[in-house]
Each structure stands twice: as structure tokens, then as C-alpha cells.
Amino acid sequence: MFDKEKLKQAMDDHGDTNKALAVFLGMTASNFSTIWNGRQPFQRKHIVRIAVRYQLSPQDVWDIFFLADAEAIKKEAREA
């Protein structure tokens, strides 16, 4: 799962809508909606394109796309 709020902030900072980002990523609005609503993850190629489009730092990429998953894995490990 990705941090929707942080990605939305990057999009807003660049004047993008969900539709504009979907077009940039080369996907339909429907496919983008599936990802946006958490039913499917972003593919690596999409993450790279988003990072370039919004000039995200490596830390931004981590925070937006990987931190929540890492925290969930840490939690699972503590509970095991």
C-alpha cells in the first residue's frame, strides 16, 4: 500500500489530477483507480515514472511507496 496523502500532495504541487497521472503512466483511468483504491500495487515502472515526474527524492519514494509495507512487516515480526 502507498501513502495516498503524500502522493496526492506531490500531485497537487504539480497541478496533476488522477486522470493526468494515469495518462502519464500510460494506463486507463479505471486501472489507475484500481491502484489508487488499494486493490493493486503500483508497478516498479510506475514508481520510477512518478519519481521522475515529481522530482521525488529517494526518501520521498520510500515514504510514499514502501514505508507502510515495511512497518507492517516489522509489526508482523514483533508479533511472531
pLDDT tens digit sequence for 1-53: 899 999 999 999 999 999 999 999 999 999 999 999 999 999 999 999 999 99
**Top-level CATH class of 4-79?**
mainly alpha
The whole model's pTM is what? 0.90
Angle at 40 between CA 35 and CA 42, to 5 degrees: 65
* pLDDT exceeds cutoff 90 at 80: no
Q: Are 14 and 53 in contact (CB under 8 A)?
A: yes
Smallest CA-to-CA distance from 65 within 41, 49, 40 is with 41
CA–CA distance, 73 with 67 (Å, rounded to integer) = 10
* pLDDT exceeds cutoff 90 at 54: yes
The predicted structure's pLDDT at residue 28: 96
